[in-house]
Amino acid sequence: MSCILVTGGCGFIGSNYIRMQLEKYPDQKVINVDKLTYAGNLENLKDHEDDPRYQFVKGDISDPALWKELFAKESINNVVNFAAESHVDRSILDSGPFVQTNIVGTQILLDACRSAKIDRYLQVSTDEVYGSLGTEGYFTEETPLAPNSPYSASKTSADLLVRSYVKTFGFPAIITRCSNNYGPYQFPEKLIPLFISNAMNDISLPVYGKGDNVRDWIHVDDHCRGIDDSLRKGKVGEVYNFGGHHEVQNIELTKTLLELLGKPESLITYVKDRPGHDMRYAIDSSKAENELGWKSEIDFRDGIRETIDWYQKNSDWTDNIKSGDYMNYYESQYGDRLSGQ
């Protein structure tokens, strides 16, 4: 039985990826190493916790002793690194954990994987490493790296470390860079789950600036398929971009969410903009389409309806999160902005 190690598997994309792996590959063991930060939630994989092919290990990717023990005990073939601090606004409040996990953690994991001589390593990166676009053009894999937030700077640094391990040590790594994901189990600090949850509770939706920033939305299942295709069919040393071909201004997206939820546009509140706010992201996925045979398959309108439906049916999941530390963050992030308008 082959074995894949997934880090950050209790977060949004990692948990969707593990579910997909367990369903798609009956003869594969999946080990999930997650620190269970505020964003990690064991409930995300509750439906698989008794599966004998699945093993959860609570641990920090920056802990060399953890890797020493785990690699000595298990025969791990492939590693997919999702573990990260992932929210731009939090990186503006405090960049320390971003440097520690996203950069130092990646370096420690890379060294452990190199010593263990694994078959393949995949670094889950982001289109934010390319910076911001104007009204025209797309990010390709050749676009120069120009991160603008502490979050994207930390992800870029990790990508450069991965690249250097390929060049210097012949380490068998691949990097994927994807646009904004949406879908079930996304932590309600990100735009889509935050606005769904606020609207469901008749709380105002804080749109940054004029709401004219553009993001390219992709369903998490399409992203997970792209990661799987890259790991299994991609070439070592290559970068693959993934996007959803669904570019939309934040304000337009906000109005669509309200329309689908049957809530009034009067819930929209324009708040102070995010510092250094990237104006537009748009991905050219043609390399992945041509070389991996990948294509984004989920139509945004269908995917977002399904996602809203999931949040409506799983309001306990969001309520459990909101009863913890999350409200302190919400207050420090939005308290002044909402009252200062």
Task: Identify residues 136-155 at the interface with ligand NAD (CB under 6 A).
Answer: 155
How is 75-134 classified by DSSP, letter by letter? ---EEEE--S---HHHHHH--HHHIIIIIIIHHHHHHHHHHHT-SEEEEEEEGGGG--B-
Among 4, 5, 6, 14, binds ligand NAD (CB under 6 A): 14
Nearer to ligand DAU, 54 or 213 (CB): 213
148 interacts with ligand DAU by CB under 6 A? no
10 interacts with ligand NAD by CB under 6 A? yes
127 interacts with ligand DAU by CB under 6 A? yes
Strand order in the sheet with 180-182: 180-182, 214-219, 247-249
Look at residue 142 and give its three-state secondary structure.
coil
165 interacts with ligand DAU by CB under 6 A? no
250 interacts with ligand DAU by CB under 6 A? yes
Among 106, 149, 180, 333, binds ligand NAD (CB under 6 A): 180
Active-site residue flag, 127 = yes
228 interacts with ligand NAD by CB under 6 A? no
35 interacts with ligand NAD by CB under 6 A? yes
Active-site residue flag, 74 = no
Phi, psi values for residue 196, rounded to 5°: -65, -50
Give dist(CA 99, CA 102) in Å, integer: 6
The partner residues of 269 in beta bridges, in order of sequence, read 206
208 interacts with ligand DAU by CB under 6 A? yes
Tell me the C-alpha to C-alpha distance, in Å, between residue 150 and each of 167, 177, 229, 283. Answer: 26, 17, 29, 21
Tell me the C-alpha to C-alpha distance, in Å, between residue 178 and each of 43, 244, 323. Answer: 25, 9, 31
Burial tier of 316 (Cβ tally within 10 Å: 0-12, 13-18, 19+)? exposed
Task: Identify residues 75-104 at the interface with ligand DAU (CB under 6 A).
Answer: 86-88
Note the residues at the interface with ligand DAU (CB under 6 A): 86-88, 126-128, 179-180, 190-191, 194, 206-208, 213, 215, 250, 274, 281
Note the residues at the interface with ligand NAD (CB under 6 A): 7-8, 10-14, 34-37, 39-40, 60-62, 82-86, 101, 105, 124, 126, 155, 178, 180-181, 187
Catalytic positions, written as ranges = 127-128, 151
